[in-house]
Structure 1
Amino acid sequence: MSSQHSKIHEGQAFGCLPIPDNVQALVIDATVGPITAIHAPVAEGTPAKGTALFIPGFTGSKEDFYDIFALLPGLGWDVWAYSQRGQGDSVAPQGVQAYGRDQTATDALEIAGIITEASGCDGIHLLGHSFGGLVAQASVIKNPKPFRSLTLMSSGPHGWPGRKADLRERLLDSKGVDLWRLDNPDKADWPDSKLDVLQRFLRERSERTSTEQLLGAIDQLANVHDTTFEVKDTKLPVLVFHGEDDNWAWPQEWQHRMAKLIGARYEIIPDAAHCPNGENPVPTAALLDEFWSQH
């Protein structure tokens, strides 16, 4: 189905992480250029419930969702994720100005439209992780019509002045050195054989990720504009959740307050922190299945 659509083509798995058997690597021809994606169709013999689109976070990529994509199709969900412009093996336009709020939201809306046309689905459940949650919020505010619901995983309502300013300075001073090497100078020149598979993947992804994308994302993360009531005005059903030990990107109190003001469902995943999709995927998949099934 997906590979036959004029704007969706078969792709190659990115990096050294093993791709789950049920997950397809794809390329989506977006206006900005080729955006890489993954797709896990509903498991054979399972009644189909709907379609969901996942947006990864800061320093992330579509591969962050491998673990949960191995589970959701067995619950009846047709799931898609993409690496945002400048992330991993997706197209990376030049200039920090190419990575603003409007550009990243426009990508999400365009990709949602392409998936809707390809799958014939009646609306998409949109999920954004961390920085991807900011992109998801901007997308539904710009146009809520393609979506059936919004899920914010470990994401908050706004940034604060100077957020990640030290990282921004390090990136500007790095002279092309990627973020993984900046964070792991003792391992910068290690051969692949000395790194485990996850560290090899993180290094390769960091090498391929645009520094300008990171700078643009930092600017979005530092934006103090609160979108809470704009999200509420979309009238979409909203789920806000994070891991019980998530103190990584937004204070948990902010996430809880945002949910209350929106009138959203709010949940905490046990035995997880900022990435419950990978840290504890079974209850995370169960929560998403329950929420999406209601809408």
Structure 2
Amino acid sequence: MSRPPSLALPSGTRAHSMETSRGSFAALDCTPPDDVPHRGTVLMLPGFIGSKEDFLPLLAPLAAAGMRAIAVDGRGQHESPGARSRKAYEQSELAADVAALGEAISHVTTPVPLHLLGHSMGGHIARAAVLDTALPCPWASLTLMSSGPAAVQPAQRKRIELLLQLLPVLEKEQLWQEMQKLETREPPTDDVADFLRQRWLNTDPDQLMAAGRQLIAEPDRVNELAHLSLPLLVVCGQEDYAWPVPWQLDMATRLRAHHAVISGSSHSPNVDNPAATAQALIRFWQRTYRTPAQPSGGTSRQNLLSSRP
């Protein structure tokens, strides 16, 4: 679970509801300053027990580089409306939501490249959205952030399985208190602590159940993705606990993708070291509009190894 250091909205950011053909989605939308050329737009998807606020530290540096950055709550996450049926939380349905968001963004923005980024479970949804999208592909690139090739590693799988067992039998407030007893990080500020609790309470239990099941059963779809002629970036923290770094680097090799390992960070480089993470993202996107996309059998991608500035 990502924990933003602050809830302050960067300059140029507005919180609003994005209307799509598949419903409305809560969003944080940060546009570049007036004196900065608009290079592209990125749609960012959060992970398990996450929300759009997980990308707050990235918004300002991305906007300063000319990227309009849009972070959303997925269906049933935090401030986005939930669904009436559990079927609506199947991965194919969530991928269709992403396609609808992309279509809505393209209709109201200037004609610039539209990039897709998914963190953790959001990476699996983003991958499914790309694979399920009818050609021609609307996405200029795909970034998988701290998101592995298949299911999470065994130790993390056990934690999720325990959560899935407890969700139906404990009140969410009680379960939250139990989860806090296992927290080893320094306590956040009071406003962030209140936000984390409220986010947990807001998120639809059916969404949590479906997401947890997906994380422990996700198949390896790397070979499918490797067949697409789409610029790809694999980026992760140097101490990722959900998918070990070697797993993610092997995935990058199989994809012939750019890759970046962010120092001083764990499963959420977006909040642990946002400066280096933003630099890796910006360098990658700059390459996508300077160099034509290579097919999966093309030249090997360059290592974008990042370190703390």
Q: Distance in 2 between matches of 1:38 and 1:258?
A: 30
> Helix, strand or coil: the match of 2:151?
coil
In the other structure, the counterpart of 2:166 is 170
In the other structure, the counterpart of 1:228 is 222
In the other structure, the counterpart of 1:153 is 145
Contact 2:172–2:201 (Cα < 8 Å) also in 1: no
Spell out the pairing of 1:137-286 with structure 2 (5 A cutoff): 137-143=127-133, 145-159=137-151, 163=157, 164-177=160-173, 179-184=175-180, 196-247=190-241, 249-286=242-279
Confirm whether residue 118 of structure 1 aligns to residue 108 of structure 2.
yes
1:22 alignment partner AA: G
Confirm whether residue 290 of structure 1 aligns to residue 283 of structure 2.
yes
Report the CA distance between 1:185 and its aligned residue.
6.4
Q: Distance in 2 between matches of 1:55 and 1:27?
A: 15
Contact 2:239–2:245 (Cα < 8 Å) also in 1: no
TM-score by length of 1: 0.87
In the other structure, the counterpart of 2:45 is 55
C-alpha RMSD of matched pairs (Å) = 2.1
Gaps of 5+ in 2: 1-5, 289-309
- Residues 56-106 of structure 1: CA deviation (Å, up to 9, x unaligned): 000011111111102111111111111001111101013332211111100
In the other structure, the counterpart of 2:293 is none
Report the CA distance between 1:279 and its aligned residue.
1.0
Confirm whether residue 109 of structure 1 aligns to residue 115 of structure 2.
no
Query: For the structure 1 residues 66 and 77, does the alpha-carbon distance in structure 2 shift closer, same or farther, using more than 3 Å as the test?
Result: same
2:145 alignment partner AA: M
Report the CA distance between 1:161 and its aligned residue.
9.7
In the other structure, the counterpart of 1:12 is none
In the other structure, the counterpart of 1:190 is none
Query: For the structure 1 residues 179 and 291, does the alpha-carbon distance in structure 2 shift closer, same or farther, using more than 3 Å as the test?
Result: farther
Q: Distance in 2 between matches of 1:255 and 1:131?
A: 14
Q: Distance in 1 between matches of 2:22 and 2:277?
A: 32
Q: Distance in 1 between matches of 2:41 and 2:111?
A: 7
Contact 2:26–2:79 (Cα < 8 Å) also in 1: yes
In the other structure, the counterpart of 2:300 is none
> Helix, strand or coil: the match of 1:108?
helix
Query: For the structure 1 residues 118 and 225, does the alpha-carbon distance in structure 2 shift closer, same or farther, using more than 3 Å as the test?
Result: same
Report the CA distance between 1:264 and its aligned residue.
0.6
TM-score by length of 2: 0.83
Contact 1:161–1:223 (Cα < 8 Å) also in 2: no
- The farther-off stretch of 84-93 and 19-28 is 19-28
In the other structure, the counterpart of 1:7 is none
Contact 2:148–2:251 (Cα < 8 Å) also in 1: yes
Query: For the structure 1 residues 95 and 174, does the alpha-carbon distance in structure 2 shift closer, same or farther, using more than 3 Å as the test?
Result: farther
Contact 1:131–1:217 (Cα < 8 Å) also in 2: yes
Q: Distance in 1 between matches of 2:70 and 2:218?
A: 30
In the other structure, the counterpart of 2:297 is none
> Helix, strand or coil: the match of 1:294?
helix
Contact 2:7–2:56 (Cα < 8 Å) also in 1: no
Report the CA distance between 1:160 and its aligned residue.
6.1
Gaps of 5+ in 1: 1-15, 188-193
Report the CA distance between 1:47 and its aligned residue.
1.7
Contact 2:12–2:32 (Cα < 8 Å) also in 1: no
Q: Distance in 1 between matches of 2:175 and 2:23?
A: 24
Number of residue pairs the alignment of both structures matches: 273
In the other structure, the counterpart of 1:20 is 10
2:144 alignment partner AA: L
Match of 2:32 among 42, 45, 57: 42
Contact 1:42–1:76 (Cα < 8 Å) also in 2: yes
Q: Percent identity?
A: 35
Contact 1:178–1:207 (Cα < 8 Å) also in 2: no
Contact 1:156–1:258 (Cα < 8 Å) also in 2: yes
